[in-house]
Amino acid sequence: MSEDTGKIIGKLLRDELDERERQRLLRDKRVEERMRSQWETEEMIPDPIREERIWRRIRLAIDGRTTRRVWLYKAVAVAASLLLLVGTGTIVYWASHQEARYMYVIASGTRSIESVSLPDGTLARLGPNSKLTYPSRFEGGRRDVRLEGQAFFDVAKDPGRPFTVRTDHMDVTALGTAFEVFDQAAEDKLEAILLNGRVRVGFGEGGAGGRREVVLEPDEMLVYDKRTREARVRRVDAATYSGWREGVLTFVNEPLSMILTRLEPWYGRKVECPPSIAEKYRFTFKVRDESLERILSILSNTSPIRYREKDGEYELYLRPE
């Protein structure tokens, strides 16, 4: 395998391939041969749960809302085939035991909420534009999953094996509890919200700020600013914050800065807003099936804030006096 092809596989596993690299990988003779061989020799063993999940994704893909997610599943299959071919270990597939162990990737699209039952019985619900990676089975004394974006977890009790959600900037560990994690790569602030039980949240980087830990009680939310490295814990109604699980975003006297971090991944659109405006104005409202422009129009009609569309994004500013 050439060094260039190896780099493409690495980007594939990180979901960073551009369209040209995807097409090049799919045209690779070894990929084609391996996929044909698997198609012709693999036993078709039905899995009702997996079949229903795949069928749901096919129906959504027909509406044109999940193109990227569909590719992601193809990408994992291709990666597994290539890495089997060259005989190397990977996070997608390895056969160090008699039974193969896989890593699964679940991704959600714009205004799409995905639910999945993890191998230990933990229920996870992904917010829009999020990605969860987890193993086909948890081994050893830990249960670790990796999250990019937003998800709610109802953790199966297993005192002997801590359950940990890892993101780029935060680790949230629980023994048996329900909590939400929010860490979008494009946002400065990350959050952990506890519905019940107790969780230990590790956050921050090395250096001046140092690595810190906080234990949250029910209805507490940790907000950590990745830019300033400031952290604070405040009391909230956790059930209201996690209402997005039922397809409803609820904001009660929340600053615009927090509201925008929820609206952007929900609609898949960027909304630029100066900090002087985002931190000053607060709003109370619910979002169900309204368009983003409708929401911005309502904000504009109830405050001095105005908006305009620019290069596919929205920009907020104050009404001239």
Euclidean distance between CA atoms 36 and 198, whole angstroms: 49
Burial of 319 (0-12, 13-18, 19+ CB in 10 A): exposed
Q: What pLDDT is stored for residue 199 in this prediction? A: 93
* Beta sheet of 305-310, edge-to-edge order: 271-272, 313-318, 305-310
User: Which pLDDT belongs to residue 31?
Assistant: 64
Alpha helices by DSSP H, listed for the chain, are 3-13, 19-26, 29-41, 48-62, 67-86, 238-241, 256-267, 275-278, 292-301
Q: For 208-248, how does the pLDDT look when each residue is reduced to its tens digit (9 = 90+)?
A: 556 789 999 999 999 998 888 889 999 989 988 888 888 88
Answer whether 195's CB lies under 8 Å from 179's CB. yes
Q: What's the rounded Cα separation, in Å, for the pair 172 and 151?
A: 12
Calculated CA dihedral for residues 71, 76, 81, 84, nearest 10 degrees = 160
Q: Measured in whole angstroms, how far is the alpha carbon of residue 191 from the centre of its chain?
A: 13
* Residue 190, burial from CB neighbour count under 10 angstroms (0-12, 13-18, 19+): buried
pLDDT at site 5? 60
Sorting pLDDT into bands at 50, 70 and 90, what band is 54? Answer: low
Does the pTM of the predicted model rise above 0.75? no
Distance from C-alpha of 285 to C-alpha of 192, rounded to nearest angstrom = 22
Residue 303: pLDDT band (50, 70, 90) is very high
Q: How confident is the prediction for the chain on average, in pLDDT?
A: 77
Measured from the Cβ of residue 183, the count of other Cβ atoms closer than 10 Å reads 25
pLDDT digits (tens, 9 = 90+) for 16-30: 666 667 666 666 666
Angle between helices 67-86 and 48-62 (to 10 degrees): 130
Q: Is the pLDDT of residue 57 over 70?
A: no
Rounded-to-integer distance, Cα 114 and Cα 33, Å: 33
More confident residue, 162 or 247: 162
Spatial distance between the Cα atoms of 135 and 8, rounded to a whole number of angstroms: 23
Q: Give percent of the chain above pLDDT 90.
A: 37
Residue type, 286: K
